[in-house]
Chains A and B, each alone.
Chain A
Amino acid sequence: MDWNKDKSLWLSKICIKLFTITMIVVAVFAPKIFSALIEIRVAYLGGTLPYFLISTYTLCVPATIALAGLWRLLDNIDKGEVFIENNVRILRMLSWRCIFAGGICLASAVYYLPFIIIAAAAGFVGLLLRIVKNVFARAVEIKQDNDFTI
């Protein structure tokens, strides 16, 4: 298969669209999904439906902003603008959104313990993005030095 960077970007954009669709579907059907889950484990989760819905809809906010940020990041990369200040800002924003989502999941672990796993994963991804952001910030400095070396 003739794989190249354009196809990779295209695949990433498709993945963002799939995640967006999944998020919308989950948001729309959240009451049914969580009612079904609570029915299965009624002994542990009875009466927690409102909490699940609050967690889900609160998580939708950083998720939507993060997906929009990812789309803008890929758009910039597609245009050949990789090491620019705007991308550093997007990565910083993505990192904070992940940490924020991790915080929501951590709070949700009070009524449903498995949320702690998602909280840890979101926190770790946030940390990774922060390091990538630091790398990008340094790369922007190096590029500017290079651009202004005559």
Chain B
Amino acid sequence: MAIIVNIDVMMAKRKISAGELSDKIGITPANLSILKNNKAKAIRFSTLEALCKALECQPADILEFVDD
């Protein structure tokens, strides 16, 4: 049972680089990398909101529930 973060899919769809996205949402590239690599333990609503704004998508486009 896991929550998968699909930022890289959305980034590819929107043709946006990691550096550009981290600048837009105001987090460090290192933290964005933690998110992209599914190493994060939690995500703040404020970060999710900024991601959705920057990637013009819904939270469901970024987060996915996978039953192991």
Contacts and interface: CB of A to CB of B under 8 A. Distances in A.
Please tell me the size bucket of the interface on B.
10 to 19
A148 interface: yes
A105 B47 CA distance: 57
Contacts of A144: 41
Interface string A83-112: 000000000000000000000000000000
A150 B3 CA distance: 14
A149 B45 CA distance: 11
A19 B31 CA distance: 44
Query: Which of A145, A149, A150 is packed against the most chain B CB atoms within 10 Å?
Result: A150
Interface of A: 144-145, 148-150
B57 interface: no
What 3 pairs between A and B have smallest CB-CB spacing?
Answer: A148-B41, A149-B42, A150-B31
B15 interface: no
Interface of B: 27, 31-32, 34-35, 39-44, 47
Contacts of A145: 41-42
A148 B38 CA distance: 10
Contacts of B41: 144-145, 148-149
Given A145-B41, A149-B43, A150-B27, 15 more contacts: A148-B39, A148-B40, A148-B41, A148-B42, A149-B40, A149-B41, A149-B42, A149-B44, A150-B31, A150-B32, A150-B34, A150-B35, A150-B40, A150-B42, A150-B44
Contacts of A149: 40-44
A108 B11 CA distance: 70
Nearest to A147: B41
Contacts of B42: 145, 148-150
A119 B67 CA distance: 53
Contacts of A150: 27, 31-32, 34-35, 40, 42-44, 47
A106 B27 CA distance: 57
